Chain A
Amino acid sequence: MNLLSVITFLPILFALVVWFLPNEKHVRPVSLGLSIVHFFVSIVLLVKFDISSAGLQFVEQTPWVQSAGISYFLGVDGISIWLVILTTFLTPITILGGWTSIQKKTRGFHVSIFVLATTMIGTFLAMDAILFYVFFEASLIPMYFIIGIWGGKNKIYAATKFFIYTMLGSVFMLLSIITLMVLAEGQLGQMSSSLLDFYKLDLNFLPGQFLSTQTLLFFGFALAFAIKVPLFPFHTWLPDAHVQAPTPGSVILAGVMLKMGTYGLLRFCLPLFPEATAEWGWIFLALGVVGIIYGALVAMVQPDMKKLVAYSSVSHMGYVVMGLFTLNAHGLTGSIFQMLSHGISTGALFLLVGMIYERTHSREIKEYGGLAVVAPIFSIFFIIVTLSSIAVPMTNGFVGEYLILMGTFMVNKAYAILAVTGVVLGACYMLWMVKKVFFGPPGKLIKDFQGKNLDLNKTEVMTLLPVVVLIFWMGLFPGHFIKYTKASVDHMINAKQGYYLKIEGRQKKVATIKYKSTRVTR
């Protein structure tokens, strides 16, 4: 059994364990324990990872649907490794985040979380386009249930919107994948959906024309990922989904699921369609910039805390997309780093908002005020996470944002200058919220709680502590994280035209699998 398969499918096993657990009371602790086990298993990956190689590692490849050249093909490289770890790291945290907030159907909830973990990890590890698509789409289902069952008042609307919106994008990706497979059949002699084979394809590109194969395919993929990211103007599902989702759902959604979009851009759009990326990348740079500013501006006037954080995600993910399309090492590294740090800090923000919502049952910013007096520990955590979110140096947020901005600056000064305003605006909306919620005289809500203990309990502190540690770790020693991605990023920059991925390590059956030709030559 390959390590990657273990990491991917362990949660499914856990889901079964939880499902058949005789006593519903044990569900929470058991899930927590299992998810922590999972996290440590994934750490093994980190330990064994060879940072000097840009190739795929721990590769596992077995034919799955030979007739269409689809294989069960998992592999990890510097681009995906941290996202896997992020997922396994956030899973226990989400379980802790739902410790008290999820009251009904706990069993189902934890099963959903585990299934979701499998699909997300699978998305990051899949090196076969169809396998990727399968995981990508399948991840919608558990998330749909998480929002729809444990969500807020308007949960069904939000869940459905989330599902359909995402699906709308991904079906065009499916179309593009199939087209690539067909092209692979023409060019490589056999149908294949392996990414490695896709990289070998020679895709027709006509400069300046929209209707060329490469451009259309590029946009087919990019649309799916842009919706997932979500890039302006495809972002409107996000605030709804976040506001309605339960706290753990929001954490996973913001923490990991959004990264599936940017990861896809990085894995598919950039290396597969180099010319189209070069020609049309400016659109994404521009949309990234627009997203940064727009998200920040709109976040500034949100009356609801969760909505504010949701729009801040739009802004932050705008940075990531912008960084990706700089096509230089700084931007790419920054983007990968920012994905991680956004996952951690925004996840933590949602966690925090959820914790306070549980106590006061309100997220209206104007009803708060003076919370710092009654919940000092909570405030400290919140402010630390806020600082990470607004990219104060020495927190994780800074490194990514800085590298992205610098990368952008090296490509296009105007965009970078515009994007830098996001730094200011980010501070504006976050600090505005902090001011309104924590500072000032006690607000309407807090008056009711005067004298009661609103502060965090030990479980919650234990939930947040790893996040805070990571925030500073990543901020102070980004090198520990960047070194894993370095080789891959450099390779991607150097091999822009004709990108390829080597398979590292055991070469036994993997690299070349001959599929039976499906065509009958008449």
Chain B
Amino acid sequence: MLSSELLHIGLNHYLGLSAVIFVIGMLTVLLRRNLIVMLMGVELMLNAVNITFVAFSSFNQNMNGQVMVFFVMAIAAAEAAVGLALAVTIFKHYKEIDISAFEQLKS
């Protein structure tokens, strides 16, 4: 029973995979100090989202999901661009990319 359920790869398996990657991406953002690696975490999350979209799209036989993946990808790229530009700017001024150096604004 159990094994057959495990062996039959269904929608939830893909979603589970995407969830794993999403959570790992999230944890990257939460845990890593390096701004660039944090960006990578965000990318991971967006990729997980893409897997979800595609999985739903394929299992539901609905093409719209794939179109959305297209947009998400573009936006992920744009975000990466902005993030890296920001990183460059910051690094240029402070020679520092560790976000724990930026804690002036608080309370």
Do any CB atoms of chain A lie under 8 A from CB atoms of chain B in the complex?
no
- Show the binding face of A for B, using Cβ within 8 Å: none
